[in-house]
C-alpha cells in the first residue's frame, strides 16, 4: 500500500477519477481487490494448440471434442477403478457426441430412467472438476441459458448436507420426470467440452488439400476463445478474397489438384462454369495427364476426373501469367527466375532453366503466344474477370476471411510462448536476416510486424489505388517469396513439378531457419528478439510436417521449440506416419500428444472408437502454474495496483466516495 506522503500526477488523478466511477467507494474497491487476488491463485486454464488442419474437418472437430485426451484423462482420474474401461469409453463418447449417442442409447438401454439418473450424476461430477479452475462468474458466462440456474445449483451442491443432497437428487429426478434428460445431457456435454479448454491456438494452414475448410472456419468462428497464426495456405485465400488474381488462380489450382472444388462451388457459392467451359474447349483433346486430381476417396466419375484435370491445367497456365505480372512490377522481389514460359523452346520441346536445358513432358499450350507468353488471351481475361467477381462478392468467403483477420496474425505471444506458422528469415550463421521491405530494412519481429500491416492494408483498403495493389502483391509474395516468413524457401517449383520429369528441378531449398532451429542458442536469439525470456519461453511451429516415420522428433533445441505439424491432412500421412500432433499447456506444464488417423465420426459413435493418442513429451512444472503466472495474471496484477492507488486516494481524502 502507499504511505501518507504519496502524491499523484495530474494524469494519475484523471485516471483514478475515471476508475472511481466504476468503484465508487472504499468497500467496492476493496471487494474487487480481494476478488482479483483470489483469482490470481486459481490454476491456469488449459491451452490447446493445433496446426496444419488442411481442411480435415472431421479430425479437427473430434480433437476439439475430446480436447486431445483431456476429457478422457479427467474421466479416468475421477472414476478410477469404479468404472470399467468400457463404461469410461461410453461416457467419453457421450460427451463428445451427445446428440448421436443418445439416439443409440434410446434403442439399446432397457431401463432408460435408471441410465439417465446414473449418467446425469456422472456428468455433473465431471462438470464440477473441469469448472473448478475457473471463477463462478466465468463458469456462469459459459452456462447454456436454458439450464443455467439448474446447472449452477448442481455444480455448487454441498454433498455433506443431507438436506442439500435431497435437493440435488430431486432436481435430477424432476429433469427425468419432465422428459428433459436428453436436452440436459446435451447441455452438460457441451459445457464440459467448453470448460475443458480455456484457449485454442491454431498455428496456421486451415485451408487446402482436405475437403472441408469452410466447415472448420464455421467451428472457429463460433469457438469461445481462439487465436490464429496465419499459414501460407491461409494467406493465399486471404489474398484471393481481397481480389489478387494470381492467388485466385492459386486457390483454384490447389482445389482442383486435390479434387476439392466443392469447397469453391458449394461452400462459397463461386461459379466455376466459365472456367469449366473454357477448359473443355481449349483442352478438349488434351488428356492433361500431369494435372490429374489427387482424389483420396476414389468417388470421381471418369467424366469429372477428366474435367477437373482440364480445369487444373487451364487455371495453372493462367496463374503463371498472373504471377509474371506481379514479378515484373516488383524487381525487389528478386523472383525473375520464376518467369519460365518465355524460356520454352516450342520447336525443340525443351526449356532452359539457369543455363541448363530440360525436356518438357507436355507441349500443349493453346493459350500461350510464344511472342508474348505472359499475356492473357481475351477468353482467359473474361474467365478471370468473372471468377474474380465471384470471389470478392462471396458473402461466406468474406465472412470467413474476416475471421482470419480479426482472430489471426503473423504471430502470437501467449503465456511466454511464441507462436508462428512458418519461420523467421535467418542467415547461415544463425543471425536474423535483414530484409528490405517497402524501402525499409527489417529483421525478426519488426519484419513480421511490417508484413502483417501490409497484409491488412491489402484486404481492408477498399480504394482501387496503387497502394492497395502493392499490398495485394505482397500478400502473393507471402505465399511463395524467398523471404516470406510463411513460405521459407528459395523458390516454389510449381511449374517444374508439372512440366519437367527431371526431379532435380523440383528441389526447394529451405531457409537456414529450418536447420538452425534445432540449436537452442538460435531459438533463444529469436525469443529474445520478440521480447521473451529465452530461458523460460518456447517457440511453437507448424508448416513443415515432422517425418516421424523417418525418426524425426517434433521437439527441437533441447525442448525450446515444438513442431506440431504431424500430418492432419491425409495427403501427408504417408510421409509423417501419424495423423497430427497437438500440444496441451495446463497448470501442470506442457504435454505433446501424437494422434493416429481418425477413421470417421460414424465409427467414433457406433464403436465408441476415439482417436488413438499417446503422450510424446512432458515438461512438468514443479509448482502448479497459477493465473498469477500468466499474461492475464500480469494484467490482473496491474489492475490490483491501480485499485490500491484508488483505495489510498479514498482513505486519504484525495478522492471523495460517491
Residues 295-353 pLDDT 10s: 656 678 889 999 999 999 999 999 999 999 999 999 999 999 999 999 999 999 999 99
Parallel/antiparallel/unpaired status of strands 581-586 and 47-50: antiparallel
Beta-bridge partners for 412: 419
What integer pLDDT is reported at residue 594 of this predicted model? 77
> CB under 8 Å to 218, separation ≥6 — which residues?
none
In the chain, where are the structural domains located?
Answer: 10-42+633-651, 47-203+542-625, 226-397+429-511
- Please tell me the distance from the alpha carbon of residue 625 to that of residue 42, in angstroms, as a whole number: 9
Specify the pLDDT at position 478. Answer: 98
Is the pLDDT higher at 137 or at 473? 473
pLDDT in tens, 283-294: 999 999 999 998
CB 216 within 8 Å of CB 234:
no
pLDDT for 575 equals: 58
pLDDT at 462: 82
The residues that bridge with 555 in the sheet, in sequence order, are 562
Cell of 120: 446425469
> Across all residues in the chain, what is the average pLDDT?
91
Identify how many contiguous H helices and E strands the chain contains and give both numbers: 27, 17
Place of cell 481418425: 598
Write down the residue that cell numbers 463460433 correspond to. 222
Q: How many CB atoms lie within 10 A of CB 48?
A: 23
> Which band of pLDDT confidence, cut at 50, 70 and 90, is reported for residue 567?
low
Rounded Cα distance between 341 and 430, Å, is 36
| Number of other CB atoms surrounding residue 136 within 10 Å | 11
Query: Which residue in 448, 411, 418, 421 sits closest to 433, CA to CA?
Result: 448
Q: Helices 162-177 and 112-131 meet at what angle, rounded to 10?
A: 120
Residue 37 above 90 pLDDT?
A: yes
Flag whether pLDDT at 635 surpasses 90. Answer: yes
Distance set, CA 116 to CA 156, 158, 177, 488, 528 (Å):
20, 21, 11, 55, 54
pLDDT band at residue 566 using 50, 70 and 90 as cut-offs: low
- The candidate with the shortest Cα–Cα distance to 658, out of 6, 19, 161, is 19
- State how far the alpha carbon of 426 is from the alpha carbons of 430, 440, 517, 604, in Å: 6, 17, 10, 44
For 550, which DSSP code? G
Confidence check: pLDDT of 169 > 90: no
Residue 122 pLDDT > 80: yes
For residues 284 and 310, give the distance between their C-alpha atoms in angstroms, rounded to a whole number.
8
359-385 mean pLDDT: 97
pLDDT in tens, 485-509: 999 999 999 999 999 999 999 999 9
Q: What is the mean pLDDT of residues 164-169?
A: 80
pLDDT of residue 351: 97
> pLDDT value at position 165?
73
Grid cell of 415 as nine digits: 503465456
CA distances to 331, 343, 579 from 353, rounded to whole Å, are: 19, 7, 37
Average pLDDT over residues 432-459: 97
d(CA 442, CA 54): 31
pLDDT on residue 571: 63
Rounded CA separation 517/554 (Å): 11
H or E stretch at 139: helix 136-142
Amino acid at each position: 500500500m502507499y504511505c501518507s506522503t504519496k502524491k499523484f500526477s495530474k494524469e494519475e488523478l484523471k485516471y483514478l477519477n475515471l476508475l472511481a466511477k466504476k468503484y465508487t467507494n472504499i468497500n467496492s474497491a476493496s471487494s474487487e481487490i480481494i476478488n482479483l487476488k483470489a483469482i490470481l491463485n486459481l490454476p491456469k486454464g488449459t491451452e490447446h494448440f493445433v496446426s496444419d488442419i488442411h481442411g480435415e474437418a472431421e479430425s479437427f472437430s473430434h480433437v476439439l471434442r475430446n480436447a486431445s485426451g483431456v476429457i478422457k484423462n479427467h474421466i479416468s482420474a475421477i472414476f478410477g477403478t469404479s468404472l470399467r474401461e468400457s463404461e469410461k469409453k461410453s461416457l467419453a463418447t457421450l460427451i463428445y457426441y451427445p446428440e448421436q449417442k443418445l439416439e443409440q442409447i434410446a434403442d439399446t438401454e432397457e431401463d432408460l430412467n435408471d441410465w439417465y439418473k446414473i449418467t446425469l450424476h456422472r456428468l455433473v461430477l465431471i462438470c464440477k472438476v473441469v469448472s473448478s479452475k475457473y471463477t463462478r462468474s466465468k463458469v456462469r458466462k459459459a452456462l447454456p441459458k436454458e439450464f443455467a440456474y439448474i446447472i449452477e445449483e448442481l455444480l455448487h451442491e454441498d454433498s455433506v448436507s443431507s438436506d442439500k443432497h435431497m435437493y440435488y437428487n430431486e432436481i435430477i429426478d424432476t429433469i427425468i420426470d419432465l422428459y428433459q434428460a436428453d436436452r440436459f445431457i446435451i447441455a452438460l456435454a457441451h459445457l464440459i467440452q467448453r470448460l475443458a479448454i480455456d484457449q485454442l491456438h491454431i498455428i496456421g494452414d486451415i485451408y487446402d488439400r482436405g475437403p472441408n475448410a469452410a466447415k472448420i472456419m464455421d467451428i472457429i468462428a463460433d469457438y469461445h476463445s481462439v487465436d490464429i497464426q496465419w499459414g501460407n495456405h491461409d494467406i493465399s485465400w486471404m489474398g484471393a478474397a481481397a481480389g489478387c488474381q494470381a492467388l485466385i488462380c492459386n486457390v483454384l489450382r490447389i482445389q482442383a489438384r486435390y479434387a476439392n472444388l466443392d469447397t469453391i462451388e458449394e461452400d462459397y457459392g463461386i461459379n466455376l462454369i466459365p472456367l469449366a467451359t473454357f477448359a473443355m474447349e481449349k483442352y478438349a483433346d488434351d488428356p492433361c495427364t500431369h494435372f490429374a486430381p489427387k482424389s483420396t476417396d476414389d468417388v470421381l466419375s471418369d467424366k469429372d476426373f477428366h474435367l477437373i484435370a482440364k480445369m487444373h491445367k487451364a487455371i495453372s497456365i493462367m496463374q503463371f501469367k498472373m504471377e509474371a505480372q506481379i514479378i515484373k512490377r516488383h524487381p525487389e522481389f528478386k523472383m525473375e527466375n520464376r518467369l519460365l514460359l518465355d524460356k520454352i523452346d516450342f520447336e525443340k520441346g525443351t526449356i532452359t532453366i539457369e543455363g541448363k536445358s530440360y525436356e518438357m513432358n507436355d507441349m500443349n499450350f493453346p493459350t500461350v503466344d510464344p511472342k508474348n507468353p505472359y499475356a492473357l488471351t481475351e477468353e482467359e481475361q473474361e474467365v478471370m474477370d468473372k471468377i474474380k467477381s465471384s470471389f470478392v462478392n462471396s458473402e461466406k468467403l468474406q465472412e470467413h476471411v474476416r475471421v482470419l483477420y480479426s482472430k489471426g496474425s503473423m504471430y502470437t505471444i501467449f503465456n511466454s510462448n511464441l507462436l508462428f506458422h512458418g519461420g523467421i528469415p535467418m542467415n547461415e550463421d544463425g543471425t536474423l536476416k535483414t530484409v528490405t521491405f517497402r524501402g525499409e530494412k527489417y529483421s525478426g519481429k519488426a519484419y513480421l510486424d511490417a508484413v502483417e500491416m501490409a497484409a491488412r492494408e491489402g484486404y481492408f483498403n477498399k480504394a482501387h489505388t496503387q497502394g492497395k495493389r502493392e499490398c495485394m502483391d505482397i500478400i502473393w509474395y507471402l505465399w511463395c517469396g524467398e523471404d516470406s516468413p510463411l513460405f521459407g524457401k528459395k523458390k516454389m517449383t510449381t511449374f517444374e513439378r508439372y512440366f519437367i520429369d527431371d526431379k532435380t528441378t523440383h528441389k526447394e531449398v529451405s531457409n537456414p531457419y529450418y536447420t538452425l532451429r534445432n540449436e537452442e542458442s538460435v531459438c533463444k536469439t529469436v525469443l529474445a528478439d520478440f521480447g521473451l525470456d529465452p530461458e523460460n519461453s518456447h517457440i511453437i511451429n507448424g508448416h513443415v510436417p515432422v517425418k516421424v516415420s523417418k525418426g524425426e522428433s517434433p521437439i527441437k533445441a533441447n525442448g525450446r521449440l515444438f513442431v506440431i505439424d504431424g500430418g492432419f491432412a491425409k495427403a501427408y500421412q504417408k510421409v509423417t506416419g501419424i495423423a497430427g500432433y497437438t500440444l496441451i499447456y495446463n497448470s501442470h506444464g506442457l504435454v505433446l500428444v501424437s494422434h493416429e488417423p481418425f477413421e470417421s465420426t460414424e465409427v467414433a459413435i457406433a464403436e465408441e472408437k476415439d482417436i488413438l493418442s499417446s503422450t510424446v513429451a512432458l515438461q512438468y512444472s514443479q509448482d502448479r502454474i497459477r493465473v498469477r503466472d500468466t499474461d492475464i495474471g500480469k494484467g490482473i496484477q496491474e489492475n490490483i495496483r491501480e485499485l490500491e492507488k484508488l483505495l489510498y486516494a479514498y482513505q486519504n481524502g484525495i478522492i471523495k466516495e460517491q
